[in-house]
Structure 1
């Protein structure tokens, strides 16, 4: 591994060997070095290496040979010195000449400058700045390490988002609780949702029909006044159009399978089983792209728990009373007579409890081999005859033609068989009854589907039940929920808008540069054996990294045509929401027929698809990335995050394959213990997972820092005055931008024992990259850190 982050590193060749390849090092030249000094130093070493006891003059041919050898060494030293000088000269242009940087005055840079000014500067507050921990619980509260919260599931500080988006650009956002860091960069999903919000609230290009429909849907979702005024009437009207129900006393005894098909086709409601589309993982390895209808157990409304002794699910006894109360409240809001509501609620809970018995958690179904069980629709019909499977599936995927020989994949066949038996029993038992528990069960599931479009009385009832179950997540602000609902139906519109606003050239530049630097990093590792190294390198070399953009729709006219039959009103959110459910079904139908993987607009991390390494457009958004930012800022934030994503995706178990992971992890941790004056105590050792995460994030910073100068100097050819922010040199801007990365929302935070910003201290320990020392001026004893 390199002692310091390297720039312009040549590709290293792999020499086959039975032993691990020695670690390769390439040290950047120190500031005092120049070609002349290097040449003199080489000459001095050569002269001092001559044996002192030689007194006899060597033969003439030996003198000539030594002269030629000396001349060769001198030329090589001069060339190496010139290269080092060139590297240092280029680096100094971006690092040490702060007075010569050109300020970026674009709106994006002004906003970024305001955010940086609200945060502590790591180079002026090095002591307190870096000593916070991230998600690890290795340091106790009284050990001196100032923790940000344990970062483990269930911890109170991790139940909510820890940062708030500023209301508008130029306005200060909420300060960090510690009072030292100012506003941190949000997690990437929050950044994406906020960006989609801005697109939906903008008034640009009013003539585009599909875009205006998406915006009208979003604004009708925000119009809570109209939703409150409508109350429960829209749902009651819908129920009457479906034939009524026994709760209201007006029910025309509709056929069970006919009602179920209607709920599946028009309202995306699946009371007795879940339905979605996906590939068979057993075929993916063979390169098959065929998608199948997949049938799973439903998301039951009644709270259940898994009994590991009986290997069965059961209703939670302690939550039955709150659940009963919520069901009664729903029926009261729908105008059901109190005299009969208890009967309907009782039978609903009884039927729900019976269905719950056969449901099983995913880990149990996986160990029992119950996932991806293949069978034809005809075979499914014989196993679960109470459901008219062909009619229901044809309704859900209308107008696609399905036949009985089409194959489906089941994920809990035991539940499907038992569910059919239970429904058949209840239908027969209440064949002549006016209560119809099965019909009531379906309509209460429909109510749950349409809950987001109903007034606050329904949502408050749902929230109270959630709190009684121990859930503390409040679901976020209204705008965020409206963005997510809009994406469900108008994903193609938002994808097209996002594609228009994405800086493709700049995004591809970061992708290609980071991936190239990542491959160089692989060659620096001390691999346990060459077989592992060659396997990883073959896999990496075969990958094609690129920006993930959708290929199915390319023009505004095509999008307008796709949504031509959708009618969206600005004040009728319930009717708009019903249309959204229909759009959602059409989206599921398209998944079954299309071969290409449609871009997921809500994706914020790269993934593998065949031989392609795809990077979603949602990664390349402000404030994490902007084409008008200086490259130092883009690489300091998004370059680091991209490199970290690649390392996690492609090297999930690198700890067992490389000694470097352990060595670097321990080295960085020693830095931290020394800086926090805990070195030598021996109680703060890292686990293998923690060492790997420290190595991943430290390596990601090195990868981004290594390829940033190359990108920066390349940009000088196109724009001789590459800009900076707040008068910072480019390297300092890189590191300062990186210091804003927030670990609170990192999915791997529980394995990270320190905050990523501390890695700057390690990078700067023995390097001339940093503009100032990060030693703490108020500490009596200064430490000499080793290079990791």
Structure 2
């Protein structure tokens, strides 16, 4: 049925929403139209004639409709146009852009060498993790340098006062050797000082260990019990020496290094006011004692740790009063003769005891000098420039004889910062987290980890080499995992700062401040071991850049220092956060399954282990086929677990990023790079490995950076797709390995 638009035809009109709707007479009610009323022709002509604006109204209505359509079209074009990635031009994004532009080499084909494409112009021998550690150190330095007013007696006030006293070199120079001479008098003096009281050997040893943190004949420290991780146990090990072990050097080189150490001891004795002839005699006998102790040492592979009681140890090495020395060292622990301790080289302790017993009988003054000279060397960095320069010269000469490159002297602020962050870690952790890990950053990190974990759980459902039992066990491990980010809870508690380290007494000299902090620090370590479970004991400081997994506590830790630019920032494009920090998180999560990947480790996998072993062998061959700069070769078979985690981490982070884009619109990218968000994801992932070209040498547990970039990316089809890599290029091989 057609509507009739003739103006002279009988019609009816109804107004709907301002529009005129015309209908024919006789229209069927079934079309939903209301009853029609007839209109006389005369009235229709009269209405037409009496309204000259009717035609104008129709034109305006048509124009209005066209305007609405045009406006809608413009709105749709704007809306769909704005759905694409917008350039991020905030200061944090521009800083990241500058870093990317400074390191990338666009003359390199990304499909043939993506590492050089991303890192080809990198300057410096440190990678992004090491650079971030340096940045965190500078951030701590700026915190300590900023003038602030703290509550009297608070932890912040003491930390800042300690740092300031360390930087006050004028006061340290004015004090000279006086503070150390006072310490020597407290220990009973020594023959070269002219005030020799021949104190009891074990009293001196007890004071050296408990008050000055110096161990001339053995080391004692606390570690978790090997089978009871929340139970502390005292460890007794060989001491540390300033001179490298003889067995590690050639005879001629070792003899020269001993002469350098003898010269150093002579300098210490002279700085303390000893007569030159007496100093030379006692320094020579101190070297002789050290050489004898060297002879008792055994290589690490020949040592065998064993558990004995303090009473048993007393019988085996009777020259040392073990109970009194260890009790003074580990207060507030209550020790008894039946206390078990772990001894790492019992034969060394027996021989050391015989040597000490003989010296007590015949050369007690030389034994005292040996301990005093060693203490002076250990405290030299807290004394004036003459002691520090002597120590630095010894280190440089030893490095020359060992054919190691010289280490330039560090600025004073670095030395002071290192001491301050050691003694006042709780305070600096809280200040660092407050500045560098605010609520927005913490929220972004937790959301990212949640996405990574959920993606891993989903992928576990599809692993062909896992049967149902193994899959359920793996998912349970991921679900039960605890994650901690930022800093330990105890470091962020307000009462920790309010307590203000009551055992720390600063002054009157910087050396006395250092010694007071040493005693307080050791007491805090002991108390932390005595805390009830289930508190996890962090292995890294808040400003650290290393994540780790603790199997005993089933806890994964990401310190605040790691979750920083250029790896993570709430204002970064998501591609950057997922490609960098997301890959780091996924890598750590996959370390939960290291045991499964070892031969026979997946007992519940049954015959499906065949597929697992084929995938592992495929990955090993995949890495072996990747070239290294200059035609060098590298055997990465012993790094298979790390390579597996690298490959799986990239796959999980990429899938998590895709899922995030699917449900959350509004992605951004970095301007001037010419990279899509997906390409930016791979750029940020590879950027973490950037450093100067790798040369053959020890790499620790990781493959060279080129392999850590090319291995996972060439095994990822999405990379070749987004960078349009031709088949058969390095980054788009003909075959890939399917593991995670």
* TM-score between both structures, scaled by the size of structure 1: 0.69
CA distance in structure 1 between the partners assigned to 2:124 and 2:426 by the alignment:
39
Moved more, 397-406 or 386-395: 397-406
Aligned to 2:427: 493
CA distance in structure 1 between the partners assigned to 2:528 and 2:504 by the alignment:
20
Moved more, 744-753 or 395-404: 744-753
- Partner SS state of residue 382, structure 1: helix
CA distance in structure 1 between the partners assigned to 2:307 and 2:369 by the alignment:
32
Shift in alpha-carbon separation, 1:711–1:783, aligned structure 2, 3 A:
closer
Alignment of 1:417-496 (within 5 A): 417-430=350-363, 436-454=365-383, 455=385, 456-470=388-402, 471-472=404-405, 474=407, 477-478=410-411, 479-496=413-430
Q: Does 1:387 align with 2:335?
A: no
CA distance in structure 2 between the partners assigned to 1:234 and 1:190 by the alignment:
33
Alignment of 1:480-629 (within 5 A): 480-500=414-434, 501-502=436-437, 503-521=441-459, 527=465, 539-540=477-478, 542-547=480-485, 549-552=487-490, 554-568=492-506, 573-595=510-532, 596-602=535-541, 604-617=546-559, 618-629=561-572
- Partner SS state of residue 619, structure 1: coil
Q: For each residue in 1:348-396, what CA deviation from the matched residue of structure 2 results, as whole angstroms up to 9, or x when unmatched?
A: 112112222222233221xxxx21x223322322222222222212221
Structure 2 runs not aligned, ≥5 long: 1-79, 600-611
Aligned to 1:405: 338
- Partner SS state of residue 552, structure 1: helix
Aligned to 1:77: none
CA distance in structure 1 between the partners assigned to 2:223 and 2:145 by the alignment:
33
CA distance in structure 2 between the partners assigned to 1:258 and 1:685 by the alignment:
54
- Does structure 2 retain, via aligned residues, the 8 Å contact 1:265–1:398? no
Aligned to 2:71: none
- Does structure 1 retain, via aligned residues, the 8 Å contact 2:127–2:688? no
Shift in alpha-carbon separation, 1:558–1:523, aligned structure 2, 3 A:
same
> In the TM superposition, what is the alpha-carbon distance from 1:489 to its structure 2 partner?
0.9
- Does structure 2 retain, via aligned residues, the 8 Å contact 1:568–1:576? yes
* TM-score between both structures, scaled by the size of structure 2: 0.73
Shift in alpha-carbon separation, 1:667–1:394, aligned structure 2, 3 A:
closer
Q: Does 1:297 align with 2:238?
A: yes
- Does structure 2 retain, via aligned residues, the 8 Å contact 1:668–1:762? no
- Partner SS state of residue 275, structure 1: strand
CA distance in structure 2 between the partners assigned to 1:127 and 1:641 by the alignment:
24
CA distance in structure 1 between the partners assigned to 2:538 and 2:713 by the alignment:
39
Bigger Rg, structure 1 or 2:
2
- Does structure 1 retain, via aligned residues, the 8 Å contact 2:158–2:500? no
- Does structure 1 retain, via aligned residues, the 8 Å contact 2:580–2:684? yes
> In the TM superposition, what is the alpha-carbon distance from 1:561 to its structure 2 partner?
0.9
- Partner SS state of residue 203, structure 2: helix
CA distance in structure 2 between the partners assigned to 1:112 and 1:321 by the alignment:
51
Q: For each residue in 1:659-713, what CA deviation from the matched residue of structure 2 results, as whole angstroms up to 9, or x when unmatched?
A: 223324544665x45x9999xxxx9796533665544323222221111233455
Aligned to 1:643: 586
CA distance in structure 2 between the partners assigned to 1:251 and 1:416 by the alignment:
28
- Partner SS state of residue 492, structure 1: helix
Aligned to 2:11: none
Task: Pick the aligned partner of 2:714 from 762, 767, 772.
Answer: 762
- Does structure 1 retain, via aligned residues, the 8 Å contact 2:89–2:671? no
CA distance in structure 2 between the partners assigned to 1:361 and 1:252 by the alignment:
39
Task: Pick the aligned partner of 2:683 from 726, 736, 744.
Answer: 736
Moved more, 455-464 or 687-696: 687-696
Shift in alpha-carbon separation, 1:442–1:713, aligned structure 2, 3 A:
farther
Task: Pick the aligned partner of 2:597 from 646, 649, 654.
Answer: 654
CA distance in structure 1 between the partners assigned to 2:274 and 2:717 by the alignment:
72
- Does structure 2 retain, via aligned residues, the 8 Å contact 1:494–1:601? no
> In the TM superposition, what is the alpha-carbon distance from 1:536 to its structure 2 partner?
5.6
- Partner SS state of residue 246, structure 2: strand
> In the TM superposition, what is the alpha-carbon distance from 1:490 to its structure 2 partner?
0.8
Query: What is the alpha-carbon root mean square deviation over aligned residues?
Result: 4.2
CA distance in structure 2 between the partners assigned to 1:461 and 1:99 by the alignment:
63
Shift in alpha-carbon separation, 1:219–1:98, aligned structure 2, 3 A:
farther
Q: For each residue in 1:17-68, what CA deviation from the matched residue of structure 2 results, as whole angstroms up to 9, or x when unmatched?
A: xxxxxxxxxxxxxxxxxxxxxxxxxxxxxxxxxxxxxxxxxxxxxxxxxxxx
CA distance in structure 2 between the partners assigned to 1:207 and 1:598 by the alignment:
29
Structure 1 runs not aligned, ≥5 long: 1-95, 135-145, 149-173
Shift in alpha-carbon separation, 1:356–1:388, aligned structure 2, 3 A:
same
Shift in alpha-carbon separation, 1:316–1:119, aligned structure 2, 3 A:
closer
Task: Pick the aligned partner of 2:657 from 696, 702, 708.
Answer: 708
Q: For each residue in 1:636-679, what CA deviation from the matched residue of structure 2 results, as whole angstroms up to 9, or x when unmatched?
A: 21222233334456426837453223324544665x45x9999x
CA distance in structure 1 between the partners assigned to 2:113 and 2:170 by the alignment:
46
- Does structure 1 retain, via aligned residues, the 8 Å contact 2:109–2:117? no
- Partner SS state of residue 210, structure 2: helix
Q: Does 1:335 align with 2:250?
A: no
- Does structure 2 retain, via aligned residues, the 8 Å contact 1:304–1:314? no
Q: For each residue in 1:225-284, what CA deviation from the matched residue of structure 2 results, as whole angstroms up to 9, or x when unmatched?
A: 554454433322322333321122222222211122222222111211111111221334
> In the TM superposition, what is the alpha-carbon distance from 1:202 to its structure 2 partner?
4.1
- Does structure 2 retain, via aligned residues, the 8 Å contact 1:123–1:774? no
- Partner SS state of residue 250, structure 1: coil
Structure having the higher helix fraction is 2
Task: Pick the aligned partner of 1:697 from 634, 637, 646.
Answer: 646
Shift in alpha-carbon separation, 1:404–1:761, aligned structure 2, 3 A:
closer
Q: For each residue in 1:127-155, what CA deviation from the matched residue of structure 2 results, as whole angstroms up to 9, or x when unmatched?
A: 78536599xxxxxxxxxxx9x9xxxxxxx
Aligned length: 621
CA distance in structure 2 between the partners assigned to 1:534 and 1:763 by the alignment:
27
Q: Does 1:773 align with 2:720?
A: no
> In the TM superposition, what is the alpha-carbon distance from 1:567 to its structure 2 partner?
4.1
- Does structure 2 retain, via aligned residues, the 8 Å contact 1:269–1:446? yes
CA distance in structure 2 between the partners assigned to 1:307 and 1:191 by the alignment:
36
Q: Does 1:349 align with 2:287?
A: yes
Q: For each residue in 1:441-486, what CA deviation from the matched residue of structure 2 results, as whole angstroms up to 9, or x when unmatched?
A: 2112212321221323233233234324414362773344433322
